Structure formats: structure tokens, C-alpha cells
Amino acid sequence: MSSRHHRRKAFFEDRAVKWDIICNHDEAKLEEIFKVLSLKKGDRVLDVGTGTGILIPHILKRIGSEGRIVALDYTENMIKEAKEKFPQKEKEYPNVNFVIKNFFETTSECLFDSIICYSCFPHLEDKEQFFQKSFDLLNWDGTLLIAHSSSRAEINEMHARKNEAVRDDFLPSIEEIKALGEQGGFVLLAEKDDKRMFYILMKKTKY
């Protein structure tokens, strides 16, 4: 792994305890994003870069008790915070599996119906490989969502002001992401890039 990767990982490890205070995630915007995604009961979902589990309640509300979530993050402290919010020892969230692992090293016996990359795509070093890996982990016609509840301009300006570990982690344009996705075997379903939010929804296709 590169030195930037290790600095970035340390950046998130150090801020995990305060992450929910530092970051504001507009619930109304998240609801709008999930309406576009259209999850259904019983779906298997991979939440890439789950952090403190911001999306877990939104996903569970849609997939129900018969669905499954793999909440993935490569930082131990983020997963620790998420587990405290969604405890499994009391069996309150039996269909959520927390995994500490780099996305690019992820394997799964069962394929997913949807992969969500919320508020973390800029931090992925190899974005072309991201689509290749996502393709391998999804069912046919499975969906891939890359989303932020802030605008692309806000995301990039914020990162430029941050610690050097994430200073160069920029969110590409919709056109750039779409091109990478199409190269990786995906087709565009929906997109939005305005002053309120950013998302692109793509589907794995055989055709």
C-alpha cells in the first residue's frame, strides 16, 4: 500500500469517535437518494466505507429482516463506532455484518444486489479497479450507487482545505465516473450533480 493510503487510513482512525459530530448528513437528502436506488425486501447490500453506519437505518428500512447488509470499512475505529450504534450482541441487528477490510480485498460467497459507495468514492485510490471489483461482487442487473449529500464543488473544496492525507482526494465529474463505469461493464440509470447533492446510479449488465 502507498504512503498516502496509510496516512489516509490514520486520518479516519483518528477522527472516528468524533465523526458523527464533524460530519452532517441531511436525512431528507439521504431519503431522496434512496428513492432513486429503489432497494427491495430481501436485497443483499454492500455498504462500502460504512464509517459509523450512517446508511444502515435507511438500508434496513427497505430490505427488511430478510435482507442482508455487509457494512465494510478499512478502519477499525469506524467499525467500532458503528457496532456501538448498532449492537449485535443483543441481536438487535442480526442481518448486519460488520467487516474490517479494504474494499479491493473483499470476497463474498454470495453476490450482492446493490453496492453503495456513499461519501467515500474520492478516497479510493484506484477508481478503475473499483468498478472491476464491483462488477465481480454484483448479481446481473445489480446496481452500483456512488453518492454524496453535498455538491461535487463542496466536496472538493472541503477536501482541499483538509489534512494532507485527503487533500488530493477529489470527486471526479459525472462524465468521468460514467466513462469508468461503462468501461467496467455498467450502464447509467440515473445521475444528479447540482448545488444540493451528487449521485450516479449504474447497473451491471450482460448486454
Look at residue 13 in the predicted model and tell me its pLDDT. 94
Predicted confidence (pLDDT) at residue 89 exceeds the cutoff of 60: no
User: To the nearest whole number, what is the mean pLDDT of the chain?
Assistant: 93
pLDDT, greater one: 165 or 112: 112
Start-to-end CA distance of the chain, whole Å, equals 35
pLDDT, greater one: 100 or 167: 100
Look at residue 3 in the predicted model and tell me its pLDDT. 81
Look at residue 196 in the predicted model and tell me its pLDDT. 95
Grid coordinates of 55: 446508511
When pLDDT is cut at 50, 70 and 90, the band that residue 207 belongs to is low
Q: How far apart are CA 77 and CA 17, in angstroms?
A: 7
87-96: b (≥16 Cβ within 10 Å) or e: eeeeeebeeb
Q: What is the pLDDT of residues 135-193, one digit of tens each?
A: 999 999 999 999 999 999 999 999 988 878 888 999 999 999 999 999 999 999 999 99
Is the Cβ–Cβ distance between 29 and 56 less than 8 Å?
no
How many Cα atoms are found within 13 Å in the side-chain-facing hemisphere of 154? 13
Is the Cβ–Cβ distance between 176 and 146 less than 8 Å?
no
Domains of the chain: 3-204 (3.40.50.150)
Scan for cell 477490510, then name that residue. Answer: 101
- Crossing angle for the helix pair 174-183 and 127-137, to the nearest 10 degrees: 50
Predicted confidence (pLDDT) at residue 88 exceeds the cutoff of 80: no
Predicted confidence (pLDDT) at residue 63 exceeds the cutoff of 80: yes
CB contact set of 55 (below 8 Å; sequence gap of 6+) = 30, 47, 116, 118
Q: How far apart are CA 3 and CA 18, in angstroms?
A: 24
